[in-house]
Amino acid sequence: MPPEPGDQKPLGLGVDLGTSGLRLALVCGGELLWEEASPYPGPFDDPRSWRGGLISLCRLLPAELRKRVGAIALDGTSGTLLLCRPDGRLLPDELGLALPYHQACSPEAEAARTLVSTGPNPSSAAAASASGSLARALQLLARAQPNPATAAGGQLLLRHQADWLMGALLGHWRWGEASNNLRLGWLQGSGCWAGAIDQQPWHAALPQIVECGDDLGPVDPHSGGLAQSLGLPPHCRVVAGCTDASAAMLAADAGDGDGLTVLGTTLVLKQWVERPIQAAGVSCQRLAGRWLVGGASNAGGGVLRRFFSDEQLQELSRQIDPDRPSGLQLRPLPGVGERFPIDDPDLEPVLEPRPVSDALYLQGLLEGLCRIEMAGWQRLQDLGAPPLQQVITVGGGARNPQWRALRQRALGVPVLNRPGISAALGMARLAATTLQRTAHDHTHP
């Protein structure tokens, strides 16, 4: 609902950087005022596309609301990593492109495992995987170091998607948020880098870690900065966000016994646990004073869109009878390699046989996604997570009632579809809460 006339309370702005596009949400006192989404204007692996998409989307926000933004928080895809100059500038040509979260770096995996398993803080962290950010970091550094185009820039920085844009808002790139850097080797429980990472000659490329919800200060008001391009007021605070699925967990307000499934381009599972869980392909972070464990498959809605348009998905889904199994045993991965529930960079997709009936084929794909989700929840339970009482579903797939019925049958617990809940809303509420807390601390020292 629009703000009341004369209401000038500061607003919280949340930004979600997903796989297929961006979403903004604006809240006042936790209540949603405005929300908008758009695809990236260019390739996902081009950081200029993230920045340009954010500017275009924010310009849709009415000027009277934009000037009232008191705090902004961003989330990004977990593990999407880039190299940049100390002032945030991108490297030339292909060196300036990011390595996406779903891209496994198998040649660097052994070196990554060695780094996290040796040194003063040995750990089997999420970084010890071909799908972790550490393997991607080693590949990025190997590409850049022999290249003369990078020599004049001095020390390079490794930054994840949300952290790079957060730096653009602040006017410096010193910091990285904890959950975004778990796959790079940050041990949140110990407050240090895993293994021998900080003994490497490139350790200065790593960010100084801040926690989700930290107030990092006002936006950079200088001419040409991102904050000015977005039209944000100079008093707007920058709040450290988190990863995209964790932001959705905040928005869903999930409790004990609740699981959260994000049915977007990829399939992501999240659940609260009493104590940290560490395993390859599994992320575990401290969020809102609690431990949050989860994993992200490469499979998801992106595979469905390879075969069907949104209109076809809607029409064909209506033809599915969830009580009659398709008999197909498909593994709907978008390509070779999986991160969770199986951490295997060589795992092959199984997309055949394809029956004559498109509705039957879609059902087979959805059943395959159900099996992946069921295996994911079982893996978390095997690692010590509590049994599920219900699953809250967000993302585009949460609009599909037939998929919900198939999932509920497979999981054996109630499945609640909540398509109106977005990661951007979680970030907007985080920004507003932090702004409220900061104001309270200033008035009650």
pLDDT of residue 6: 42
89 alpha-carbon distance from chain centroid: 23
In this prediction, residues 142-150 reach a mean pLDDT of 75
pTM flag (> 0.85)? yes
pLDDT confidence band for 288 (50 / 70 / 90):
confident
To the nearest whole number, what is the mean pLDDT of the chain? 92
Per-residue pLDDT tens digits for 165-178: 999 999 999 999 99
Asked if pLDDT for residue 238 goes beyond 90, the answer is yes
Domain ranges of the chain: 255-420
Q: pLDDT band at 438, cuts 50/70/90?
A: confident
Q: How far apart are CA 119 and CA 406, in angstroms?
A: 47
How does residue 124 score in pLDDT terms, banded at 50, 70 and 90?
low
Q: How confident is the model at residue 4 (pLDDT cuts 50, 70, 90)?
A: very low
> For 299, phi and psi rounded to 5 degrees?
-75, 160
Yes or no: say if 374 and 411 are a contact pair by the CB < 8 Å rule.
Answer: yes
pLDDT band per the 50, 70, 90 thresholds, residue 153? very low
* Mean pLDDT score, 80-90: 96
- Cβ atoms of residues 99 and 161 within 8 Å: no
Sequence-distant (6+) residues with CB within 8 A of 250 are: 242, 287, 288, 426, 427, 429, 430
> What's the CATH architecture for 255-420?
2-Layer Sandwich (3.30)
Nearest one of 30, 58, 197, 179 to 119, comparing CA atoms: 197
Q: State yes or no: pLDDT of 443 exceeds 70.
A: no
